Amino acid sequence: MNIVVTGGAGFIGSNFVYYELANHIDDTIICYDALTYAGNLETLDAAMKNPKFKFVKGDITNREEVNALFKNEKPDIVVNFAAESHVDRSINNPDLFLRTNIMGTCVLMDACRKYGIKRYHQVSTDEVYGDLPLERPDLFFTETTNLHTSSPYSASKASADLLVMAYHRTYDLPCSISRCSNNYGPYHFPEKLIPLMIINALHDKKLPVYGAGENVRDWLYVEDHCSAIDLIIRKGKAGDLFNIGGHNEKRNIDVVKIILKALDKPESLIEHVTDRKGHDRRYAIDPTKIKNELGWSPKINFDDGIKKTINWYLTHKEWWEHIISGDYQEYYKTMYGNRAKL
Ligand code: NAD
Ligand code: TYD
């Protein structure tokens, strides 16, 4: 089979590329990526040596480029990871999120209709459900929880999901959707919580925790997300939707303290700063459906996953040093330079 992986030079997409190359050696994986600030060809160095892998640079919002990709590569399956993915950036620049995340999905699905595919898979997020109250640990997101978005990022992802469902119903396009909780692991871009805290701690720089740090995220090791998507595209029915998560809920402040302890750094590095606007309080996935219907379960718990992740950042300094030595410095100044300390 030919599998197009859009956004395969980013965090989860690249992990998925490696997962597919390792687990389905007869399939050809074509990564299609615009190489925005979040895309990194160095991440794909090892894949480039594999004859079953191909990289094509292109933008999912560009119809001409996308049509040429489908004409040349004749994909059986398209897995769409390409997106603007950072909530904080979406608060400063919503329109780019609407263009990439909604229009890009539309352009890809139009090409799927035109050229025919066996499956279009949309990689979505639990953030489409909004948030849960901190004082109700009994509540979880299921596939029937109402969409209720808080940020321009999550609103763009929810819009894309609605479009996918509409293409399935109107055009009978064989689509599926997965909504996963927060991922962590290798190749995670340094702007996100876990890599940012690891890298700042290694530099003895302050660790900026938004507000009191009591917001809860449900963490899943990235390889477990990849194994779930792999099952959905091969065994899940067209038109189906699955939540993905492993019940690893943690308060941000506790994640930060775990990282400091593992790196033997003092908690005095923690600095509470102005909260994110519209900050979602708690995410928590109920993964019962994918467990019962596809037999998926996560293999890596948070204690092991965070150790593996910290170790990866310690042994791949070159990868992240290249990133933080470029435009990232400007980004960091804009986002954190004027943020008041609490
Ligand atoms: P990322 O920001 O690390 O990577 C995004 C990739 O998409 C980059 O390689 C970038 O170059 C590429 N891209 C951006 N715009 C593009 C365009 N117009 N055309 C082609 N390529 C483009 O993101 P990620 O964290 O790997 O997330 C991947 C997907 O998973 C996203 O759709 C995101 O919404 C979803 N998701 C992420 C998480 C998480 O915890 N990171 C959780 C659930 C779902
Ligand atoms: P993030 O990694 O941006 O993922 P998301 O917003 O998609 O959940 O943030 C995870 C949590 O960490 C979120 O509650 C915001 C918080 N956070 C901080 O406290 N400080 C930071 O510098 C960052 C980037 C995030």
CATH code of residue 113: 3.40.50.720
71 is in which domain, residue-wise?
A: 2-184+222-244
The CA-CA-CA angle for residues 138, 140, 141, to 5°, reads: 165
Q: Is residue 284 part of a domain?
A: no
| Averaged pLDDT score across all residues of the chain | 98
Residue 119 is which amino acid? R
Ligand 1 pocket test: which of 55, 64, 81, 96 has the largest number of ligand atoms within 8 Å of its C-beta? Answer: 81
Rounded alpha-carbon distances, angstroms, from residue 241 to 12, 121, 126? 19, 10, 12
In a domain, residue 23? The reply is yes
Contact 278, 93 (CB under 8 A): no
Ligand 1 lined by 15 (C-beta under 6 Å)? no
And the tokens for 2? 């030919």
Res 326: pLDDT: 86
Mean pLDDT of 191-212: 98
Distance CA 135, CA 128 (A): 20
| Pocket-testing residue among 198, 252, 260, ligand 2, by greatest number of atoms within 8 A of Cβ | 252
On the CB side of 85, CA atoms within 13 Å amount to 27
Res 77: pLDDT = 98
User: For residue 194, how far is its CA from the centre of ligand 1 (angstroms)?
Assistant: 16
Residue located nearest, by CA, to atom 4 of ligand 1: 10
153 is catalytic: yes
Q: Is 184 marked active-site? A: no
CB 39 within 8 A of CB 9: yes
Q: Is 18 a catalytic residue?
A: no
The whole model's pTM is what? Answer: 0.98
Q: Which amino acid is at 334?
A: T
Beta bridge partners of 54: 30
pLDDT value at 289 more than 90:
yes
Domain count, the chain: 1
The answer as to whether 172 is a domain residue is: yes
Q: Which amino acid is at 65?
A: E
Q: Rounded to an integer, what distance in angstroms lies between the CA atom of residue 83 and that of residue 6?
A: 9
* Closest ligand to the CA of 8: 1
Closest protein CA for atom 10 of ligand 2 = 193
Question: Is 173 contained in some domain?
Answer: yes
Predicted local distance difference test score (pLDDT) of residue 59: 98
